[in-house]
Amino acid sequence: MHPSIIINLSSLFFFKYFNFFVENFIVAFQFLGYKFSPFTIKIILPIGISFYIFKTLSYTIDVSRQKLKPTKNIIDYFAFISFFPQLLAGPIERAKNLLPQFYSKRVFSYPLAVDGLKQILWGLFKKIVIADSCANYTNIIFNDSSNYSGSMLILGALSFTIQIYADFSGYSDIAIGVSRLFGFNTMRNFAFPYFSRDIIEFWRRWHISLTSWLTEYVFTPLSIKWRNIGNVGTGGALFITFLLCGFWHGANWSFIVWGVLNAAYFIPFLLIKRKKKVTDIVAKGKSFPTLFEFAQMSITFSLIVFAWIFFRANDLNHAILFIKSIFIGLVHKSSYIETINFVYWKIGLPIPLLIFLFIIIEWLGREQQYAIANLGIYWYKPIRWAMYYSITFAIFYFNGIEQQFIYFQF
């Protein structure tokens, strides 16, 4: 193994996973009857470590596979690793895409800059107006979940589902938009994943840079190595890939279960070898999906919401109790009354209406790189600018509800 890979993986292990393995090692030996005094090291986790470690790994692997010529300029290499729009939370850019752009001469492009500003604007709207508003109610319900049940907990899960998408894709939009202001074209990271009709399509559209990274450097090599054992090899490669995906997000059993659960969703589709073109978009060229497509999206979305509970929960025990309380509470009429009162008195109508408007805009722009890329392009100019000013006003109005980006912790 290349020394660079060993150094990078060792750094990631120490900062992110050392205490997790120590704690579980002690628990395992205590279970066997051995006595160990629990201890942990107070480690400050560098922000975004998982992202820039994966960038360095992809560079080293591509060079060792001779898919990429090593750069002779160390400044260009460090500029690639520390490219500031992507440094804290991705996208996980490939060297073969970004490095050549450092070599080429860049001139100011007005259309590219305008497009970048529009994407930044939409990213800020997602983060500040949608994600941060949802975060407030997500935290209320998840942090005190033992006092809620049934439909209230479902509301919390739905709130987090919207929050994490608006938060993370919002950051990605800002990062991509800022890159365009400097003349860089970077990879897309989200392609309207909640409009997916099955789990395969969802993972083709969610966190695209991580999914493609794991596919290229984990799943494909393993599936080729185990191709002689057929579906078992394919399923095993997929299981390990999702296990690593969950573990990449955090040193917690709830993240691991989240990864395993997504593997369980995914494997049946992979084994029946369902094929669909990458360019396939739900209801392409139409205003509404068919009833069958709507049913597919609803089922897929429900599975995703369920999996997000493990992702958001404090730990595995919290997630299990949360899910248990949902099913127990759904049979009680008081649970629904409690939810109606919570929505009416604590949330109010503006937030649900804004979320509904957000979903409509995302649906209308689902064939574009981001929702408002072409929205209003043929409108009368004052109306189009009124839309941009309205989005800007909403951003400033909701700016007081400040929440850290979720993926900064990874």
Chain segment 226-280, per-residue pLDDT in tens:
888 888 888 999 999 999 999 888 888 999 999 999 999 998 887 776 555 445 7
pLDDT at res. 276? 53
**Tokens for 196?**
């997916």
**CB distance 262 to 307 below 8 Å:** yes
**CB distance 201 to 279 below 8 Å:** no
Q: Tell me the CA distances in angstroms from 176 to 161, 183, 186, 189, 308, one per residue in order.
A: 22, 10, 6, 9, 25
CA 190 – CA 13 distance, rounded (Å): 28
pLDDT at res. 85? 79
Give the mean pLDDT of 373-389: 84
pLDDT at res. 359? 96
Who contacts 91 (Cβ-Cβ below 8 Å, separation ≥6)?
A: 172, 175, 176, 186, 187, 188, 189, 208, 209
Note the pLDDT tens digit of each residue in 156-192.
999 999 999 999 999 999 999 999 998 898 999 999 9
**CB distance 357 to 126 below 8 Å:** no
pLDDT at res. 211? 94
pLDDT at res. 206? 95
- Concerning whether 249 is annotated as a catalytic residue, the answer is yes
CA 51 – CA 118 distance, rounded (Å): 25
CA 20 – CA 292 distance, rounded (Å): 44
Note the pLDDT tens digit of each residue in 24-83.
777 776 767 677 666 666 777 777 787 888 888 998 998 888 888 888 888 888 888 888
Query: For the chain, how far is it from start to end, CA to CA, in angstroms?
Result: 25
pLDDT at res. 19? 74
**C-alpha angle with apex 143: 90 to 309, nearest 5 degrees?**
55
**Tokens for 64?**
């060792």
* Torsion angle, alpha carbons of 84, 85, 88, 91, to 10: -130
**Tokens for 340?**
């109606």
**CB distance 83 to 93 below 8 Å:** yes
DSSP category for residue 347: I
Q: Tell me the CA distances in angstroms from 294 to 194, 197, 283, one per residue in order.
A: 11, 8, 10
**CB distance 218 to 241 below 8 Å:** yes
Instruction: Give the distance, in angstroms, between the CA of residue 169 and the centroid of all CA atoms in the same chain.
Output: 7
- In which residue are the tokens 């503006």 written? 350
pLDDT at res. 176? 94
**Tokens for 36?**
């160990």
Q: Among 2, 207, 249, 332, which one carries the catalytic annotation?
A: 249
Give the mean pLDDT of 14-19: 76
Q: Which of 188, 180, 187 is nearest to 113 (CA)?
A: 180
Mean pLDDT rounded to a whole number for the chain: 86
Residue burial 69-85, b: 16+ Cβ < 10 Å; e: rest: eebeeeebbeebbebeb
- In which residue are the tokens 């993370």 written? 168
pLDDT over 70 percentage in the chain: 90
CA 159 – CA 164 distance, rounded (Å): 9
* Torsion angle, alpha carbons of 164, 131, 184, 82, to 10: -70
| Poorest-pLDDT segment among 103-107, 135-139, 389-393 | 103-107
CA 156 – CA 138 distance, rounded (Å): 5
Note the pLDDT tens digit of each residue in 108-123.
888 899 999 999 999 9
**CB distance 367 to 284 below 8 Å:** yes
pLDDT at res. 278? 45
Whether the pLDDT of residue 407 is over 60: the answer is yes
Phi, psi of 375 (to 5 degrees): -65, 125
- Dmax (CA) of the chain: 76
Note the pLDDT tens digit of each residue in 292-342.
999 999 999 999 999 999 999 999 999 999 999 998 877 676 667 777 778
**CB distance 172 to 189 below 8 Å:** yes
Note the pLDDT tens digit of each residue in 71-93.
888 888 888 888 887 777 778 88
